[in-house]
Structure 1
Amino acid sequence: MSAPRQSLTNSLRRLFDPLLARSAAALSRLGIAPNTLTVLGFLICLGAGGLAALGYLFWAGLIFLMGSALDALDGPLARHSGRSSLFGAFLDSTLDRYGEAALLVGLATHFATAGQPLLVFLTSLALLGSLMVSYTRARAEGLGIDNAVGLLTRLERVGLLTLTLLIGWTTLGLLALALLTQVTVAQRVLRVHQETSSS
């Protein structure tokens, strides 16, 4: 089986690994459990979704970034504290999907209330794409295929969505998110096809 091409996520993780490791060590000394951090990050992302629904898009982006930053620490904290678990990994992945969906649903709610059907459509397409990006990876891994490839893994999606809300380029950002998530799904489907065809 061929190795998957490295995504931007892998490069960024290597860049931020030292900072994450130091932060995880500090949290471990405070006795904070990894699953607590996971749930806290999720609740913050829920708050971002609520702010988005009310039309506070800049603050929604900022709060979503904070929640996502906390979420990035639960894995390093689990490894540093020796508290890694299968359930923790499962909970993290599950709440990641809910947190991302909460923000997008909040945005769609705001755009529907504001009478902006194009943005409702783009947000809905972005939500579908984000969920399918995650599903195609999980389903492939169930078949024994490493499928963390493509343009828009979770880290890139979080970055693009946050930037979209912070700078106010809503239509352009959501269009990019809607299209590039579908491209990523296609890349992952193609990889599974290549791997299964060569086996």
Structure 2
Amino acid sequence: MTLDQLRPYVSRFLDPFVEGFDRIGMTPDGVSVLAFGMAILAAVAFVLGGRADPIWYVGAAALVFLNGWLDVIDGALAREQDVASAGGDLLDHVLDRYADIVIIGGLAAGVESYFLGFLAVTGVVMTSYLGTQAQAVGLERVYGGLVGRADRLAIIGFVGFLAYPIEGTYGGLTLVGWLLVFLAVVGHLTALQRFFYSWTALE
């Protein structure tokens, strides 16, 4: 089970944040843009963590968690304000994909492992694509598989915190380098899982 499937169970924890954003006049689209801003800052921090000072990894990890949290809040805020729309859903998903690309790009640029970054980002994008393509061919949107977006952000954030105290290379790669390997392998495996699930469901 992926963390994406737990979203309905965390709604009660969102209420104070949703009420706060609603009180200050924030729109769901505004929260989506804010979440994307956190992803950009996280990417910059990952670059600085790899090239300047590892303490930046801690800030990057916190920003990744904040991006994930805001990504949950924007949908809850749309329901609270009764403004949920296809346009808002489109904006949210587009910004999520760009956020994924930016964050992984920051990880790769920080440790200068661009090929691993390419493999990781294509795995992540294909995972998300297969999830929504199932809906495009008449099935429900697929969130299952080894790793969903919520899982991925949690893992990136956790490894980001560990990357500060755990320096050096292991098997020729830093901890962040191994994170890119993990994202590449698991991303493509998850995409294939979603493909075969959808293919079977269409038969």
Scaled by the length of structure 1, the TM-score of the pair is: 0.85
Structure 1 residues 7 and 104 mapped into 2: Cα distance closer, same or farther (>3 Å)? closer
In structure 2, distance between residues paired with 1:31 and 1:83? 13
Within 5 Å, give how 1:27-38 maps onto structure 2: 27-38=21-32
Residue 52, structure 1, aligned to residue 52, structure 2: no
Partner amino acid for 2:34?
A: L
Partner amino acid for 2:146?
A: L
Partner of 1:69: 69
Partner amino acid for 2:144?
A: V
SS at match of 1:83: coil
Runs of 4+ in 1 over 3 A off after TM superposition: none
Deviations 1:75-115 (A, max 9, x none): 00010111111111100000011111111111222222xxx
Q: 1:43 aligns with which of 37, 44, 65?
A: 37
SS at match of 1:54: helix
SS at match of 1:163: helix
Tell me if the contact between 2:4 and 2:143 (Cα under 8 Å) persists in the aligned partners: no
Measured after TM superposition, the shift of residue 16 of structure 1 is 1.7
Greater displacement, 40-49 / 61-70: 61-70
Greater displacement, 34-43 / 51-60: 51-60
Within 5 Å, give how 1:119-130 maps onto structure 2: 119-130=113-124
Tell me if the contact between 2:40 and 2:102 (Cα under 8 Å) persists in the aligned partners: yes
In structure 2, distance between residues paired with 1:7 and 1:107? 23
Within 5 Å, give how 1:1-199 maps onto structure 2: 7-11=2-6, 13-55=7-49, 56-112=56-112, 119-146=113-140, 147-168=142-163, 169-197=175-203
In structure 2, distance between residues paired with 1:15 and 1:123? 33
SS at match of 1:149: coil
Structure 1 residues 74 and 184 mapped into 2: Cα distance closer, same or farther (>3 Å)? same
Partner amino acid for 2:41?
A: G
In structure 2, distance between residues paired with 1:54 and 1:30? 33
Structure 1: where are the runs of 5+ without partners?
A: 1-5, 113-118
Partner of 1:116: none
Measured after TM superposition, the shift of residue 120 of structure 1 is 3.3
Query: Percent same amino acid at aligned positions?
Result: 28
Structure 1 residues 172 and 110 mapped into 2: Cα distance closer, same or farther (>3 Å)? closer
Partner amino acid for 1:122?
A: L
Measured after TM superposition, the shift of residue 172 of structure 1 is 3.5
In structure 1, distance between residues paired with 2:63 and 2:143? 26
- Structural RMSD (CA): 1.7
